[in-house]
Amino acid sequence: MPGGTSRGDAGITPLSQLPPKGRVLCQGRIESITYVPADRTAAFSAIVSDAEPERAGVAQGRRARLRVVWLGRRRVPGIEAGTELRLEGMLSRSEGMPTMFNPRYEILSHQENE
């Protein structure tokens, strides 16, 4: 990992154990991203899950998920499906799903598509 991290894995909350609200540090892999139409307010969102892609036996419905939203952005460089991220920010609930707006993030790895 280029640059490394001073935190290591200490203090990382698993997505399955996220509190209802408050500041958290967590990590996961981007499962999907959503682009909004040009005629709507700029926002870029992604769904982050805790399941590794290699774990084919994990059912989609059983994965812990987190919605991440960058307001005022139509795209965030380096953020794409398959990217593993470490995220830090304030957690809230939106439409019944844990959601983090404008988090600090660190790209840990990219999934290779061959």
DSSP output for the chain: -TT--SSTTTTPPPGGG--SSEEEEEEEEEEEEEE--TTS--EEEEEEES--TT-TTS-GGGS-EEEEEEET-S--TT--TT-EEEEEEEEEEETTEEEEES-EEEEEE-----
Please provide the average confidence, as pLDDT, over all residues in the chain: 84
Domain at 18-52+62-109: CATH architecture:
Beta Barrel (2.40)
pTM of the model as a whole? 0.78
Give the range among 28-42, 46-60, 80-94, 96-110 with minimum mean pLDDT.
46-60
What tens digit of pLDDT does each residue of 29-69 get?
Answer: 999 999 888 899 999 999 999 865 554 444 555 689 999 99
Task: Give the pLDDT confidence score for residue 69 in this predicted structure.
Answer: 95
Does residue 109 or residue 100 have the better pLDDT? Answer: 100
